[in-house]
Chains A and B, each alone.
Chain A
Amino acid sequence: MGEKVLMKGNEAIAEAAIKAGCRHYFGYPITPQTEVAAYMSKRMPKIGGVFLQAESEIAAINMVIGVAATGKRVMTSSSSPGISLKQEGISYLAGCDLPALVVNVERGGPGLGGIQPSQSDYWQATKAGGHGDYHNIVLAPASVQEMAALTIKGFELADKYGMVAMILADGTMGQMMEPVEIDDIEIKTVDKPWALTGTGMKREHNIVNSLYLKPDLLEIKNFERYEKYAVVERDEAMYEEYLMDDAEICIVAFGITSRVAKNAINEARAKGIKVGMIRPITLWPFPKKAFEARVDQCKAFISVEMNMGQMIDDVKLATSCKKPVYLCNRVGGMIPSPEEVLAKILEVGGAK
């Protein structure tokens, strides 16, 4: 057993990445994720790793591509406007089926927006933020401990499926401090026969590429990729339920809003309202089965989000619109209060 230490969420991501065997980090300064880079700049030189501050987010993600092509674990981190710049590279990673970890510690947008916490990049993260048909595996931590755990999980899933794993955290998760325990882990290595390691004059040359000028070949490539995605959807969806056994109202929330919602749920329960929560941990694949299992027992769903209502679409799809889905939201860097969520619960469930 390791020891519990007090860490910021951003630092927990960095330390967990090192524990996961990541020895290459490329980034560019942007608030509120800067602690990831700062931590890496201190640690990497001491463990024979590479920390490189790139000239731009674009360069950083392309350096990630270079390392990923050689078969090694690699990551970058940024915040919303910087993640927009990385989308071209993320599309190339998807087109080359390369594994990498990308961390987005979200802030309010659009444009330069603000620097306070937000969840307004949900669509960008889950619906192919760059060009082309593709998905990222999107992980949404709700504690500093989970920031660490999902970072390790992210590297493993990325390697397993040859995909980008994205940690979608809001600024609160990045900045808040909590006790965390990050143990040494056994690194699960994956055979990567496609990796660029030099032929050594012993094999045919390997090519990492996303260009297919023949449309029939590009179509086959896309079909194959989506067969892989179907396996990810079947096997890798993660979620947590809170007081759902008898729930008639189901809150849906991830990240910091799920913690706010828990307080609201407890207060509503004290008033006799049967309310629970499904907390998606993977935003893609979205945990559809959790909703299929609960849709009939619930009268209504409330999606609590720090955006103008993005995940709510997935909730409607996962429930096949069988029950009403309400939105409880704050935007622009504002975090909903437990009172606001409670008011929504009372509004939806109180009128019996």
Chain B
Amino acid sequence: MDVVFKKPHALTDAPLHYCPGCTHGIIHRLVAEVIDELGIEGDTIGVASVGCSVMAYDYFNVDFVQAAHGRAPAVATGVKRSDPSKIVFTYQGDGDLAAIGTAETVQSAARRENITIIFVNNAIYGMTGGQMAPTTLPGMVTQTSPYGRNVEAVGYPIKVCELLSNVDGAAYLERVAVNNVANVRKAKAAIKKAFQNQIDGKGFSLVEVVSTCPTNWGLTPAKALEFVETDMIPYYPLGVYKDIYAEEGDK
């Protein structure tokens, strides 16, 4: 009997703790499939961040270090500089990467640090119970913006790919989503490219994955996927924001 579908080897057997309908599970699987397909499991070192994905170290079958809130790119810098032959990736949420860790994000991009960042943007702080994030949409209701995000008072969301596209050091930036099958396939291709870039020594590659938080958005899993289409993607357009090697090829 042929096996036509199985769990990637790069995922452990630990049951995921994520809420029903959360897309962290899909993104974990995509990363693990890419690690399997590139044959890099034995050489990969992950850096977990603080947030819902803090226990990523239990889920991936690779060596892992858990970083302080926002510091994953700095920790990853240390790991990579210690042994550049290893494949080093961070897995970070929006609060971690775009609020408390903004400096580490921008500066590791500026250094063209040869690491891969998987940035999961669900526009909310999930683990602490649904507070306003740097990527919370204008008008969006959260625990700490109960009347909706008032941009006059608290400012505007940060568009990470657009921001980093102005940083010379960033090599590859793409925003994807995992709200339908077609987008999941594109997301996997982007993640694979971000890892392949590191293998090829091409430098800082970040994939922003527009994700969901049904629990803290107060939506059913199905409605949350619809919200990605109707509200998230219009504010956070999908696509390649930077690919310095493609640009060189086009010249």
A65 pairs with B78, CB closer than 8 A: yes
User: How many Å from the CB of A115 to the closest CB on chain B?
Assistant: 24
Chain A residues positioned under 8 Å from B64 (CB to CB): 196, 205-209
- Specify the chain B residue showing the minimal Cβ separation from A59: B74
What residues of chain B have their CB less than 8 Å away from a CB belonging to chain A? 12, 41-45, 47-48, 54-55, 57-58, 60-68, 71, 74-83, 86, 103-104, 107
B63 pairs with A74, CB closer than 8 A: no
User: How many Å from the CB of B250 to the closest CB on chain A?
Assistant: 32
Task: Tell me which of B43, B71, B82 has the highest count of chain A C-beta atoms within 10 A of its own C-beta.
Answer: B82
What residues of chain A have their CB less than 8 Å away from a CB belonging to chain B? 24, 26, 50, 52, 54-56, 58-60, 62-70, 72, 74, 88-89, 92, 96, 196-202, 205-211
B81 pairs with A198, CB closer than 8 A: no
A196 pairs with B42, CB closer than 8 A: no
- A88 to B75 alpha-carbon distance, docked (Å): 13
A65 pairs with B82, CB closer than 8 A: no
Chain A residues positioned under 8 Å from B48 (CB to CB): 209
- Specify the chain B residue showing the minimal Cβ separation from A211: B66
How many pairs of A and B residues are in contact by the CB < 8 Å rule?
Answer: 129
B83 pairs with A197, CB closer than 8 A: yes
Task: Tell me which of B76, B78, B103 has the highest count of chain A C-beta atoms within 10 A of its own C-beta.
Answer: B78
Task: Tell me which of A58, A197, A200, A207 has the highest count of chain B C-beta atoms within 10 A of its own C-beta.
Answer: A207
A65 pairs with B42, CB closer than 8 A: no
Q: Which 4 A-B pairs have the closest CB atoms?
A: A66-B78, A62-B74, A63-B78, A55-B107
B43 pairs with A62, CB closer than 8 A: no
Partner of A59, one of B42, B55, B58, B71: B71
- A141 to B185 alpha-carbon distance, docked (Å): 59
B42 pairs with A67, CB closer than 8 A: no
Chain B residues positioned under 8 Å from A62 (CB to CB): 67-68, 71, 74-75, 78, 104
Chain A residues positioned under 8 Å from B66 (CB to CB): 96, 207-211
Partner of A205, one of B43, B62, B67, B68: B62
B79 pairs with A58, CB closer than 8 A: no
- Specify the chain B residue showing the minimal Cβ separation from A198: B43
A196 pairs with B54, CB closer than 8 A: no
- A74 to B79 alpha-carbon distance, docked (Å): 11
Q: A198-B42, A198-B86, A205-B64 are in contact. Are A58 and B78 (CB under 8 A)?
A: no
Chain B residues positioned under 8 Å from A24 (CB to CB): 78, 81-82
User: How many Å from the CB of B54 to the closest CB on chain A?
Assistant: 6
User: How many Å from the CB of B59 to the closest CB on chain A?
Assistant: 10
- Specify the chain B residue showing the minimal Cβ separation from A26: B78
Partner of B63, one of A26, A206, A210: A206
B71 pairs with A199, CB closer than 8 A: no
Q: A63-B77, A65-B65 are in contact. Are A205 and B60 (CB under 8 A)?
A: yes
